[in-house]
Chains A and B, each alone.
Chain A
Amino acid sequence: MDMWNIVEYAAWGLSIVFGLYIVINWTKTDRTYSEEELMSSREGALEAMTEEHKL
């Protein structure tokens, strides 16, 4: 087994770690917060507060 074989295994391992982090955090977040809160983002909120769009 040369260095590149080890690098291949490391790449598989890191991919799994990143994937697991995302999935675990995703499920934890969805359980902790309500859907209403998670989807409370509204387009144009800043503009409504700061931009009058008048010349």
Chain B
Amino acid sequence: MSDTDITSTEMDGMGPKGTKLGLARVLGPAHIWGLGVGIVLVGEYMGWNFAVGKGGAYAALLACWFAGILYSCVAMIDSEVTSTVAAAGGQYTQAKHIVGPLMAFNVGLYLVFAYTMLAAANAITFGFLIDTVAGMTGHDGLDQRPFIILAIMFLAWLNYRGVLATLTFSLVITAFAFCAIIALFLTTAVFMADSPLRHAELMTDLPYGWLGVIAAMHFGLWFYLGIEGTCQAAEEVRSPARSLPFGTLAGIMTLLIAASLTWYVCVGLMPWEYLGQSGVPLFDAARLSGSTTLMVLLGVGTMFATLASANGCINDASRAWFAMGRDHYLPDWFGAVHPKFRTPYRSIIFLVPIALVFALGAPLDQVITFSILSGLLGYTFMPLNVILFRRKWPLDSIKRGYEHPFHPIPAIILLCLCGVTFFAVFLGYGSQLVAMLSFYIIVSLWFHFWRYRFVRRGAQFTMPWPRPRGY
């Protein structure tokens, strides 16, 4: 049991009676939608199109569908478990309560690395976009570093000052970026009298056969990578049981629409050989449409999507780090909450220099690959997590905000698709995969043989659940 009486009526502070300080519970379902979609939407603006390069336009569509199934399973499973384990740390906290400490430590690190690397990658992209704009105005040789640093420092400052402003900012710019994609589709496919879309001329068979489809899965993830980040806000929503499932499931539906429209417009405007190498495919599509308004709209949308993603990543990485500190999995110094802003301020500060080092010193593709691989390891844990959750606490034992249908079929599908994606990643980035697995094995040994002695074993299990079935 915890050594703090969380039901005390004497410590009447800002948190629910037992705690003096807690994260601010101020978010609603729209913020959850903005957080989840905001992290991901940059993948529609850039990155997904490398799937086209791997296997052609139809391979990218198949990858889009399979990855869509994978992430729908992720969203459903996460919605059920997180509506019950409504605490900062998301999947880390789920793993701690359901699987065990070593799994939790690993999942916590997957989350922190996935989001910190993604924040760094977004900052690099932001610098590149500013450089592109400068180039279009005739200025060569722009120093990208101040813009990369500014993106991280501004968003860290915003996160430091409070979660409501942070995620309202994400919500607004994400909604703009999503509407820009809708506008591009409607204009090119519906409203233009002479539509520039040329699907009949540009579509080809699978240039590399079915192996190309499997290889495309690696980049198919980009359409949805990060939607599981909604769970990190679990301790800051007013009604976790309602907001988390609603925001997460609305988010995956939004992304399925955005991914389909993005694919449809882009493959109708560019040959697959070009699209597969484009740096900013949606912006290129807008330029090819011949409309200056669309070009500006998608240019701003690209910039906003990048910032929204970095913003959500800083938010999520700091919550995972904070939760691990609070449980003594890491030094408990990180478990502090700002008394005025009610944010995990030390965790936010600690992760800033790490993001800066990777943003300024590491190549973009390596940073992103590390992020994707960490995320993929996290998805592989989820089927195991939900199967154990249902077995230990069946539906008739505790109240859930959402019950995902057809269990265990989504868990089995998710596990199979993760296996296919690991193979796809191995085809292109085998050495990085082995290096990353080695890293996690080493830190697991460190945790098992050294760090776990500092964890207060009873205090980490806080949910007022009944004893698990069979124990």
Contact = CB atoms under 8 A, between A and B. Distances in A.
Interface in B1-55: 2, 4, 6-7, 11, 13, 15-23, 25
A45 B6 contact: yes
Contact of B18 (A38, A48, A51): A48
A54 B240 CA distance: 17
A46 B25 contact: yes
A51 B464 contact: yes
Contact of B146 (A3, A8, A45): A8
B129 interface: no
Interface residues of B, number: 63
B20 A40 contact: yes
A29 B340 CA distance: 9
Contacts of A33: 339
A19 B25 contact: no
B40 to A, nearest CB: 26
Given A22-B157, A49-B17, A43 B235 contact: yes
Interface string B120-139: 00000000000000100101
A42 B17 CA distance: 11
Interface of B (DSSP majority class): loop
Could you say which of A8, A23, A26, A54 has the most chain B C-beta atoms within 10 Å of its C-beta? A8
A55 B146 contact: no
Nearest to B127: A11
A49 B153 contact: no
Contact of B21 (A23, A37, A44): A37
Contact of A45 (B15, B143, B340, B345): B15
A42 B19 contact: yes
B338 interface: yes
Contacts of B93: 43
A50 B16 CA distance: 9
Contacts of B323: 43
Interface in A4-50: 4, 8-9, 11-12, 14-15, 18-19, 21-23, 25-26, 29, 33, 35, 37-50
Contact of A55 (B326, B352, B396): B396
Nearest to A14: B150
A54 B149 contact: no
A44 B87 contact: yes
Interface of A (DSSP majority class): helix
Interface residues of A, number: 38
B15 A4 contact: no
A38 B336 contact: yes
A38 B337 contact: yes
Given A8-B142, A48-B462, A29 B150 contact: no
A17 to B, nearest CB: 8
A40 to B, nearest CB: 4
B463 interface: yes
B464 A48 contact: yes
B153 A4 contact: no
Interface of B: 2, 4, 6-7, 11, 13, 15-23, 25, 84, 86-89, 93, 134, 137, 139, 142-143, 146-147, 149-150, 153-154, 156-157, 160, 235, 240-241, 323, 326-327, 332-333, 335-340, 345-346, 349, 352, 396-399, 462-466
Given A29-B345, A40-B15, A48-B18, 13 more contacts: A14-B150, A15-B149, A26-B349, A33-B339, A37-B21, A40-B337, A41-B21, A44-B462, A47-B86, A48-B16, A53-B464, A55-B396, A55-B397
Interface of A: 2-4, 8-9, 11-12, 14-15, 18-19, 21-23, 25-26, 29, 33, 35, 37-55
> Closest 5 interchain pairs by CB?
A44-B462, A11-B146, A18-B153, A38-B336, A18-B157
20 contacts: A4-B134, A4-B139, A14-B154, A18-B157, A22-B153, A22-B156, A23-B349, A29-B339, A33-B339, A39-B332, A41-B21, A41-B326, A43-B323, A45-B22, A47-B87, A49-B6, A49-B16, A53-B398, A53-B464, A54-B399
